[in-house]
Structure 1
């Protein structure tokens, strides 16, 4: 199947899409070495620099891999699913298991690394959670997540911070659903306040194991008190 020349602008996107179609349609199976840049450029009717950028995009999607001195090879026929997409379709229970690992380590590190600014942020987030208890479930969940985010931030590990940020959309939906289904806040609008106060206190006091213990108990029974 001939590639066919692409229309002007945006050339890179068009070239990448045309090459992607050849791969996903099976024209170039996994393990196949792609034609050289000059050949591809001629078939697509674009410059070599455009082909180079298109191949870079395909490599980013996990479809091809350049090998030094050997060329560019097909390594998959379907684009790699990005992390946010995987999280969106993941079971809430699976997300919570990973959240446990992230937040337990974050709490431990936060107790050792918290700064005066972190202490202020944690206390403000706890106060914000208490204020939000007068609002609806979504407002309360947002404030709850903000407190947990403050704990993660106090760990001063950018990787943990990024991981937690990726979890937030899934966590938010799951927690709102939990509160709606169980009605936990009907009789206790500020449910689990004692646990969150204990968490902040442990981090402020530098009690790493105490902070870890609180997080484990809370995440095993979210909003359970």
Structure 2
């Protein structure tokens, strides 16, 4: 490998090591040279090599085994979660979305506060008002309601997980709602079921909340796939 020149040395080192792994110089399952050997080959210090290896470990390409050294675990960086979601089929996204949101609806019905109900009522009203807007505004209002529902579950892990889904859902739904004319006959498509969902949460009925949301998500998924 060529020696490196000043700049972000650790990034350069990581890039060159990755290049060698991709080329098969160090195959998956094989062991990398030690820090001293890598530092000499790259023309950098051991601390730079360690930082480069940490970068590659974070990307899922190498793993350190205590007392044994650093081993190659993949010849490509692992995709991050948002990137994988963007490539996924909508049907698959909806299957996982259903698992996440139906449980969130059940928890929301059991845990909602007065402030949560106020937020849900406002989000439902905004969704109704968005019936007269364009598809992008309608989808935004719909996702805002679902975001409020998940927040009412008071589970930060669910919040974070749905936050990963939301941008992907928005991109896909804006395109599909317009492409298939889903709102042509009913600009407020799905309003009744969403109102029933908010009502079930207000009444503290976890089973009803989960049942209503599961039916709504399945109806949307089926309609999109059928079209």
TM-score in same-fold range (> 0.5):
yes
Tell me the TM-score normalized by structure 2: 0.93
Match of 2:139 in 1: 141
Match of 1:217 in 2: 215
Match of 2:93 in 1: 95
Alpha-carbon shift at residue 5 of structure 1 (Å) = 1.0
Q: Does 1:157 pair with 2:184? A: no
1:74-121 residue CA offsets vs partner (Å, 9 max, x unmatched): 111111122111111111101110011001110011111112221111
Alpha-carbon shift at residue 178 of structure 1 (Å) = 3.1
Alpha-carbon shift at residue 55 of structure 1 (Å) = 0.1
Alpha-carbon shift at residue 196 of structure 1 (Å) = 0.7
Alpha-carbon shift at residue 124 of structure 1 (Å) = 1.1
Unpaired runs of 5+ residues, structure 2, are: none
Match of 1:196 in 2: 194
Whole-angstrom distance in 2 between the partners of 1:15 and 1:78 = 16
Match of 1:50 in 2: 48
Q: What does 1:1-150 align with in structure 2 at a 5 Å threshold?
A: 3-150=1-148
- The DSSP-based 3-state class of the residue aligned with 1:73 is strand
Whole-angstrom distance in 2 between the partners of 1:128 and 1:152 = 17
- Conserved 8 A contact 1:92-1:170: no
- The DSSP-based 3-state class of the residue aligned with 1:222 is helix
Whole-angstrom distance in 1 between the partners of 2:175 and 2:13 = 44
- Conserved 8 A contact 1:31-1:74: yes
- The DSSP-based 3-state class of the residue aligned with 1:102 is helix
Whole-angstrom distance in 1 between the partners of 2:21 and 2:179 = 46
- Conserved 8 A contact 1:99-1:167: yes
Unpaired runs of 5+ residues, structure 1, are: none
Whole-angstrom distance in 1 between the partners of 2:20 and 2:176 = 45
Whole-angstrom distance in 2 between the partners of 1:163 and 1:123 = 23
Alpha-carbon shift at residue 167 of structure 1 (Å) = 1.4
